[in-house]
A and B are shown apart, each in its own frame.
Chain A
Amino acid sequence: MTKKKNDMDFGRAFEELEQIARWFEKGEADLDQGLVKFERATELAKLLKGRLQQAENKIKEIKMKDETD
C-alpha cells in the first residue's frame, strides 16, 4: 500500500480536544489563550466530524508467501 495512513490520527485529535475541554474546566483565566484554544477546539471538532461522515473503511487482502490459496 503506497497510500499514507490517515492524514489525521483520529485518536490523537480526539485526545487533544478532550485536553482542551479539561483546560477550560480547570478555570485558568487567560483570555488570549482561551480564545486560541477555543479556535483549535472548533477546528478539531470539525475535522473529526468530517472524518466520521466521509471516509469509508478500506479492505486490502495481504498475500502470504508460500501459500497456494
Chain B
Amino acid sequence: MQTMTVSAFLAYVNETFKAIWDSTEIAIEGEVSGFKISQGQWVSFDLKDADALLNVFLPIWKLQVPVQDGLRVRVFGLPRVYPKYGKFSFSAERIDLAGEGALQKALALTRQKLEQEGLFDPSRKRSLPRFPERIALIASRESAAYGDFIRIVNERWSGLEIDLYHVLVQGERAPEQIARAIQVANTPHPNPLLRKEREHDVLILTRGGGSLEELMAFNDERVVRALYASKIPTLVGIGHERDLTLAEEVADVRGSTPTDCARRLVPDRNEILYELATLQERIADDLQEKLDYWSRQADETVSMVDRWLEMIVLRSSSLERLLRSFDPRAVVKRGYAIVSDADGHPISSIKLLSPGKKMDIQLRDGEVEGVVESVGRKK
C-alpha cells in the first residue's frame, strides 16, 4: 500500500493530464455560458453541451476573439485541478470561434452589448477643433495608411505637432497595444507647467483595408472602451469605406479611410489663405466705408458752420443798415440841425436852455456857436 498527500496526488493528476493530453491538437467545442472577466485580467466561463458542463479559465490576454454567452467556441488547453480548492477546470491556451459566420455573429453580439451600454450614443459625440495644434496618431509606422495620412496632412496643412504611437494593427497583441496607446496619449504630462501645451487636441487611430479577421483588433472591446474613455476627441478611420468597425462607431468622428481622416483633421491651407484674404478685404472695405461716413459727417459739420457764418454776416449787414438809418449825421445831411450844449450833450427841450447859455448848432457843412437870447414855448 502507498499513501500520498493531497498536494502530491493533485500534482500527479495534473502531470498525468499534461502527459496524455495534446493541447495543440485537440479542442473542446461547446457553447459559452456565464462569461465573466474578473479584475480586468481573468476570464472564466462554462462550456456546455446538452448534458455536460466544463469550467474554462484563462488570462484575458490569451483571449483573441470576442466571446459572449451563447457563442460556440473551440477551446485549446489543458485540464487541470486547481489544488487550493480541488476544483477541476480547463485552463485554456487559445479560443477559436466555431461554426459558419462565427466572427460576424460574435461581432454582432459585441456591437449589441456595447450599443445597449450607450457607447455609440450620437449625443456624446464631440466635434474636432478647426485648427488642431498637437495630435496623437496611433498607427503602424510601416503601414501604407500611415504614409497616406502623413502625405495628405503635409499637402494640406503646416505647423502641426504629431506624436506617433507606433502599434501593431493586427494579430493577437494588437488590441492590447492600441488600447494602451490610447491610454498613454490621454495621460497628462507629469509636469503641471507643461500639461497644457503637451495636451493633444485630437487622437487619431487609423489603418488600411483588410479582411474582417485582420481588422478584428478594431472591433476589440478593449480598444472600443479605451476610445470611449478618451478625454481627447477621437477620429478613427479603418480600412475602406465599406468596413465599419466598432472603433469607428465609438469614435467622435469617423473617417472612411486614412486619407479621409487627414482631410477631416486639418483644413486645406489654400482655402484658409483665401478665407484670410477675404476677411482682410472685408475689414478694409468696412473701414473704408466708415472713413467715408466719417468724412461725410465732417463735411456736413463744416458746411453747417459755413451756413451759420453766412447767416451771421447777412444779419449783421441788415443790422448795420438799420443802425445807419438812425445815425443823426444822416439827418443833418438831409438839412436838419443838431443843437447841443457846450459839453456836446444834445439838447432836445427848452427846459435845458436859458438866456445867455452857450450852444452848438451842427449843420450839414459845419458848426455854429451861439448864445441863447430868449426861450419861449411853442405857440
Contacts and interface: CB of A to CB of B under 8 A. Distances in A.
Given A5-B197, A31-B294, A57 B162 contact: yes
Interface stretch (B176-184, B322-330, B360-368): B176-184
Interface residues of B, number: 42
A21 B282 contact: yes
Nearest to A55: B159
Interface string B278-302: 0110111011001001100000000
Interface in B114-156: 129-131, 133-134, 136, 141, 150, 153-154
A62 B183 CA distance: 13
A55 B293 CA distance: 41
Interface residues of A, number: 40
Interface in A1-47: 1, 4-6, 9-11, 14, 17-18, 20-21, 24-25, 27, 29, 31, 34-35, 38, 41-42, 45
A42 B279 CA distance: 10
Dominant SS at the A interface? helix
Contact of A52 (B161, B162, B269): B269
B149 to A, nearest CB: 11
21 contacts: A1-B161, A6-B161, A9-B133, A14-B131, A17-B276, A24-B282, A25-B286, A29-B290, A29-B294, A34-B290, A35-B287, A38-B283, A52-B273, A55-B158, A56-B159, A57-B159, A61-B141, A61-B163, A61-B165, A64-B165, A69-B168
